Amino acid sequence: MRKLTIILAFLALATSLRAQEYPAGLVDKSIAVVGNEMISISQLENELRMMRAQGLVSNFDANARCTLLESMLESKLFLMQARVDSLTINNDMVSAELSRRIDLIRTQLGGDEEMEKYFGKPVYKIRQEWKQQLEDQNLTQQMQGAIAQKVPEMTPYDVKQYLAATDSADVPLVPIRYQLSQICIYPDREAAKLAVKEKLLSLRERILGGEKFSTLARIYSQDGGSARRGGELGMASKSVFWPAFSDAAMSLKPGIISQIVETPDGFHIIEVLEKRGDMFNARHILLKPEYTLEDREKAFHTLDSLRSEILGGNVAFQLAAKFYSQDPTTRTNGGQMADPNTGSAYFEIDQLKPQDYNAIKGLKEGEISEPVESLDNEGRNGNTVYKILRVDKIIPAHPATFEEDYSMLADEARNKQAMEVIDKFINEKIRTTYITIDPIFKACEFARAGWAEKIVE
């Protein structure tokens, strides 16, 4: 509580950095009441501190408290209705999000002790408070969804009415989209993996022979972030790492050098510096498989030959993809690519890997790119792959039309109606609910005018 007093005393002096003022020496108090729900200074400040710890709010945002308070007020309106409607909490979702949030913050701050210092309370207390917040948030989101679901699915007539009522300048713009096919060849990954393992074994022997792990990490590790710190990762929850990495680290005693550990990032050797419960601080050296100019030239030669055969009409692209492509996700489909996130066969520019877009950006429909070195969708950053791409279809950028973009327009129309229904709910609840807001927030410029009428002078 002493820390909160210091924080609030400082805030009272920093009048140029906010739109409201806390009286000097104020520890805590209720700053808003919404029906039978209350918001206190400590709740507002704790939420703000958590958002800052996650990098979601700048320390220099003068309106952060006003914006956050308005969001909390709106949430209370939904929460009250959720309780009236007897909605039930999804405990599995709350537990998963609580664990994710705790692990993220304690990792960013450097452990439980640092987390307790930052928030000024023990971890168990933080966990209790966040659990309550997430339960309320879960009910709030369910209530928002229930209100939005009252909007019926759009019919073709509804979509036409939406288009007719929308100014032409406000009709959504559909960006250029591409439908693509590919033929992929991978380099000799087994040989590259073997070379990496041999190099890591050599580094491990040098460490066991007396050389400093940190020095070798600075020189050789391909994890740029930790290499500058001698390979040190910092105290972090095991859940933030790949399971194979966490399992290996948690099984080590401090000072022991691990055997080679493979993860989707590459290959590692690990030295644990400290363990606290399910958290650890470790050093590692990361090496990734590297491919030779010979690998590239061999793959490009094969792809060049295939491209010539296809362009010469000797073999269909789809058949060549089926027999020669080494990408299991597209070869069975004649090489046709699909967005791994949406399943769509059409890609906007920002959905394409830069290497792929650079290869096809000047091509017309039916044309095939020169061989290009690119990345697949495996692991964190993708693995090296060589490919040729065919432009199957180009849909130019255009204002959305009923004929070509019906699904998009139906979603836009329904989302607009859902927002209108939610806005109507909030405004009606502000008007009919008993609400008081402390006058220390009278300088706030709330997005909804109704809140200003609830400030008690």
pTM, 2 dp = 0.69
Q: Where are the domains of the chain?
A: 28-151+419-454, 177-187+292-396, 190-287
Work out the percent of the chain whose per-residue pLDDT is above 90: 69
Rounded Cα–Cα distance for residues 284 and 450 (Å): 56
Instruction: Give me the chain's average pLDDT, please.
Output: 89
Q: What is the pLDDT of residue 210?
A: 94
DSSP for 179-207, written as a single string: EEEEEEE---HHHHHHHHHHHHHHHHHHH
Strand partners, 32: 39, 437
Q: CB-side exposure of 5: number of CA atoms within 13 Å?
A: 4
Rounded Cα–Cα distance for residues 189 and 290 (Å): 9
Mapping DSSP onto H, E and C, the string for 255-323 reads CCECCCEEECCEEEEEEEEEEECCEEEEEEEEECCCCCHHHHHHHHHHHHHHHHHHHCCCCCHHHHHHH
Mean pLDDT of 302-314: 96
Distance of CA 116 to CAs 58, 240, 269, Å? 21, 20, 32
Q: Which helix (H) or strand (E) holds 37?
A: strand 37-40
Mean pLDDT of 180-186: 96
Task: Name the pLDDT band for 386 (thresholds 50, 70, 90).
Answer: very high
Rounded Cα–Cα distance for residues 163 and 157 (Å): 10
Mean pLDDT of 37-60: 82
Q: What is the pLDDT of residue 46?
A: 84
Mean pLDDT of 220-239: 92
Say yes or no: do domains 177-187+292-396 and 190-287 share a fold: yes
Altogether, the residues listed in the chain come to a count of: 457
Q: What is the pLDDT of residue 8?
A: 35
Mean pLDDT of 69-81: 95
Amino acid found at 279: M
Mean pLDDT of 243-269: 94
Q: What is the pLDDT of residue 20?
A: 52
How many other C-beta atoms lie within 10 A of the C-beta of residue 396? 8
Mean pLDDT of 169-185: 94
Domain 177-187+292-396 bears CATH identifier 3.40.50.1820: no
Task: Please give the structure tokens belonging to residue 161.
Answer: 């009415």
- Model confidence at 2: pLDDT above 60: no
Q: What is the pLDDT of residue 113?
A: 86
Strand order in the sheet with 30-34: 37-40, 30-34, 435-437
Distance of CA 261 to CAs 50, 165, 231, 275, Å? 34, 60, 15, 19
Task: Name the pLDDT band for 32 (thresholds 50, 70, 90).
Answer: very high
Rounded Cα–Cα distance for residues 347 and 369 (Å): 16
Rounded Cα–Cα distance for residues 118 and 312 (Å): 68
Task: Name the pLDDT band for 393 (thresholds 50, 70, 90).
Answer: very high
Residue 384's SS3 state is strand
Mean pLDDT of 390-403: 94
Q: Is residue 273 a contact partner of residue 253, using CB atoms and an 8 Å limit?
A: no
Question: 86 φ, ψ to 5°?
Answer: 60, 40
Question: 235 φ, ψ to 5°?
Answer: -65, 125
Mean pLDDT of 269-286: 94
Q: What is the pLDDT of residue 29?
A: 87
Residue 416's SS3 state is helix
Question: Which of 61-65, 190-194, 274-278, 301-305 comes out lowest in average pLDDT?
Answer: 61-65
Radius of gyration of the chain (CA): 29
The string of pLDDT tens digits covering residues 320-373 is: 999 999 999 999 999 999 988 888 899 999 999 999 999 999 999 999 999 999
Task: Name the pLDDT band for 262 (thresholds 50, 70, 90).
Answer: very high
190-287: what fold? Answer: Chitinase A; domain 3 (3.10.50)
- Least Cα distance to 120 among 22, 53, 38 occurs for 53
Q: What is the pLDDT of residue 15?
A: 35
The string of pLDDT tens digits covering residues 124-137 is: 998 998 999 999 99
Task: Name the pLDDT band for 87 (thresholds 50, 70, 90).
Answer: very high
The string of pLDDT tens digits covering residues 146-163 is: 999 999 999 999 999 999
- Model confidence at 401: pLDDT above 60: yes
Q: What is the pLDDT of residue 59?
A: 63
Top-confidence residue, 136 or 17: 136
Task: Please give the structure tokens belonging to residue 251.
Answer: 């099984």
The string of pLDDT tens digits covering residues 415-450 is: 999 999 999 999 999 999 999 999 999 989 999 989
Residue 130's SS3 state is helix
Rounded Cα–Cα distance for residues 119 and 133 (Å): 15
Task: DSSP letter for 396, please.
Answer: -
- Model confidence at 18: pLDDT above 60: no
Rounded Cα–Cα distance for residues 121 and 125 (Å): 6
CATH class for the domain made up of 28-151+419-454: mainly alpha
